[in-house]
Chain A
Amino acid sequence: MNAEKPELKKLFALSSEGRKYSFTLPLKNVIRIGKRDYNIELREDEKYGIHVLWKNRRYPVEIVRTKQNRYEILFNDISHIFTVETPFAMQRKKVLGSGKGRSERLVVKAPMPGKIIDVLVRENSQVLRGEALVILEAMKMQNEIQSIVNGTISRIGVKPGQNVMKDDILAEITVK
């Protein structure tokens, strides 16, 4: 018995800031941003690597890291993070997202004893997943303690120069 494969031709690129771009496979040379269509061409050759051609100018693209449908790219030297989603996945996000609507608080704790070298964020500042919050020196090494969520810093528990024990609270983040 063979079920139909779910459609994979129409896809969305969802940026980490929540913007949505639709495209189709195989790729066409037109992409729609907002309500306007742009004629662009994606090329790859030995001399320039991967680049986007728009109005006869080349814009370099570098794929920094990929993990399944998550792409971290450098476009014109600016870093962007995208996930590629199917229509069903988008619908699913809605279904799962609507049930929650939660605003949770995440406590960031020291993973090991050490000394705070620097605090890189301020209270009320916005942070993205993967952004460094504090530098903790432990095992004679400077460790970046990163946020694992997108959100807003609601409290900072440490000052530069302070010694911390394992599980001391470094910061609190209100999850977006």
Chain B
Amino acid sequence: MATETRSSVLPAGAKAGNAQSRVLSPTQIAWRRFRRNRLSIVGLGIVTLFLLTGIFAPVLSPYPYDQTNLFRAMRQPGTDPAHALGTDELGRDMLSRLIWGARVSLAVSVSATLIVVVLALVLGFLSGYFGGVWDYVLNRLFEVVGALPGLLFQILLMLLIGNGVLQVTVAISILGWPGLARLVRAQVLSFKERDFISASRSLGAGTVFIMSRHLLPNIINPLIVAISFAIPGYIGAEAGLSFLGYGINDPLPSWGKMVGAIGRYLSSPNYLYIGVIPTVALALLVLGFSFLGDGLRDALDPQSDRANF
């Protein structure tokens, strides 16, 4: 699919002579399509900003995330010049916790995505390419994991392995891979009998060569789109588990946990900021990723907008 369309969207400049300087690579074409959608640029900006915030959290945060000061607890944003976004119920700086929360949120969601992608690629390839017993066994595995009631099972798993960044990542990725693995399997199935694969095989190409050179490039585009929609899902999952108390350990901040802290103070509108600040951050980052994903889909999947009505 992707290889065919790449040749058909050569820009007009390619025909009008001067081909050397005007021909666009597939990446450039995708970038042009991506740029057309203003929201996806906004998404890219938000994601970059949060990524940098997360990476440089130790430098950026004005206070340690766990520094308490009970004499300065529950300061509302703007009332204390030393704490721009105020302090929480233990007097910890909200801004610092927000910044570290970005790090936790991204660490969990990005590494969960990496695990899921590796699992999905390996298992999807095995099941789609070799078929037979592999396909049968792995399909049963897809079915079992797909049938687990997500949140309930994640909580049980978290009880067994305990709270923590690594543990949440495991709990999220263990349930996350079947959808992506099915996608990989379907793509492999649809490509493995094509003529260009048979030709390559008849020239003596081995399985690994065919997988990495012929199948992977054809899978990568739908995979990128799926990933960009998976990350916001994992961010939400981490926040949800931490909100329930089965996620990140104290004192490390997580936006979900920070939202959860509002529970005791809901009756007082003055303290709403405790929940508002992490909620806004959570929503912004997640939206950034999904705007980015939307733009990527338009850029990488040219068939997404085809209608003759």
The answer to whether A and B assemble together is no
Q: What residues of chain A have their CB less than 8 Å away from a CB belonging to chain B?
A: none
